[in-house]
Amino acid sequence: MLQEIETYHNSLSATDQEIANLLYEVICESLPEAEHKIWHRHPVWFLDGNPIAGYSTRKTGMNLMFWSGQSFNEPLLQKEGKFKAAEIRYTTAQDINTTDLKRWLDKARNIQWDYKNLVKRKGVLERLK
């Protein structure tokens, strides 16, 4: 685990650490080709510089976000923000269905909107895959 992500995990409550550790393990296993780092203070995974998935702690639990998740056609993922992101919140590690998570990560690899060039395109998203 990268030191900066380990530092992030160590700053979490015990329950959130358990969730974050499981998410980290499954995401790294499912997207071995993805770069991951702390971005905007949270762990985020990128493919070719495009953000794919990340997680952060919230008052209501740990939030897992997929930048292109609204295009996954997955009812458990809730719309987030004004673009194409979708999220799910977990309050315990036992809430995480790893079969669903792996399916969503596969979709994250294969369904992508171009967030990397969002500023250059003045807020207009284009589908990459």
Q: What is the pLDDT of residues 15-74, one digit of tens each?
A: 999 999 999 999 999 999 999 999 999 999 999 999 999 999 999 899 999 999 999 999
Residue ranges per domain, the chain? Answer: 3-110
Rounded to an integer, what distance in angstroms lies between the CA atom of residue 110 and that of residue 113?
10
What DSSP state is assigned to residue 116?
A: T
Q: Which residues of 1-37 are buried (b: 16+ CB within 10 A; e: fewer)?
A: eeeebeebbeeeeeebbbbbebbbeebeebbeebebe
Rounded to an integer, what distance in angstroms lies between the CA atom of residue 108 and that of residue 27?
11
Using alpha carbons only, give the angle 103, 108, 111 rounded to the nearest 5 degrees: 115
Confidence of residue 112 (pLDDT cuts 50, 70, 90): confident
Q: Helices 3-10 and 14-30, interaxial angle, to 10°?
A: 150
Closest CA to 33 of 50, 17, 16, 18: 50
Q: Is the overall model pTM greater than 0.95, yes or no?
A: no
Any idea which fold 3-110 has?
Answer: Aspartate Aminotransferase, domain 1 (3.90.1150)
50 contact partners, CB below 8 Å, separation of at least 6? 67, 112, 114, 115, 116, 128
